[in-house]
Amino acid sequence: MGAELSFAVVLRDALEADLASFFDFQRDPEANRMAAFTAKDPTHRGAFAAHWKRILSDESIVKKTILFDGRVAGNILSFERSGERKVGYWIGREFWGKGVATEALSKFLDLVKTRPFHAHAAKDNLASIRVLEKCGFVLSGEDEGFSNARGEKVEEFILEPA
Ligand SMILES: CC(C)(COP(=O)(O)OP(=O)(O)OC[C@H]1O[C@@H](n2cnc3c(N)ncnc32)[C@H](O)[C@@H]1OP(=O)(O)O)[C@@H](O)C(=O)NCCC(=O)NCCS
């Protein structure tokens, strides 16, 4: 990853105007299979809009749009669940494999200093696990849950910054 890339990836507050891109990214079947713990119907525009309306109005959620060379490339969020702060991210498929998630998460870790801070990833989501490892996360636990995208129970790793 060269210096050029660190200038290419920028985080800014998520805006309503970004939602059309997020919805496109959310509908990708391969991304859904990877992420596993996804919306029941990722193609349902109304459910997506209601979900993001809640996110945008919830001040406890840190929500950033990831820009790559000025284009909306994904989002990264931090939210509370079961009394713990979690992080989640989603990159549009056309931007995969360029180091965007790694750079975005590394910048996000400088913004959100709350610890503990957990990420969950399906055990077979090797790209996401690699992103977390490159940002200094280590394994802190395991869990399993029902995956809407796969229609079955899926095991996941829980990771946190070392
Ligand atoms: C997972 C995801 C965030 C990765 O985004 P990205 O911008 O492509 O990630 P990066 O380019 O920063 O890094 C990906 C790393 O994983 C590696 N990788 C990619 N696919 C892989 C695979 N199948 N097996 C092993 N490693 C893989 C890449 O080689 C790279 O590591 P490297 O730099 O050591 O070569 C993106 O694919 C995504 O948004 N997927 C759908 C939603 C999702 O899964 N979100 C995370 C939920 S936990």
- Supply the range of the domain harboring residue 23: 3-161
Residue with CA at minimum distance from ligand 1 atom 31:
130
Residues 82-141: pLDDT tens digits? Answer: 899 999 999 999 999 999 999 999 999 999 999 999 999 999 999 999 999 999 999 999
DSSP type of residue 62: E
Q: Give me the CATH number covering residue 137.
A: 3.40.630.30
- 89 CB within 6 A, ligand 1: yes
- 26 CB within 6 A, ligand 1: no
Structural domains of the chain, count: 1
Per-residue model confidence (pLDDT) at position 7: 65
DSSP type of residue 98: S
Name the percent of the chain lying above pLDDT 70. 96
Beta strands in the chain (DSSP E): 9-13, 62-68, 71-81, 84-91, 117-122, 137-147, 152-161
For residue 31, give the ligand 1 atom closest to its CA: 41
Kindly report the pTM of this predicted structure: 0.95
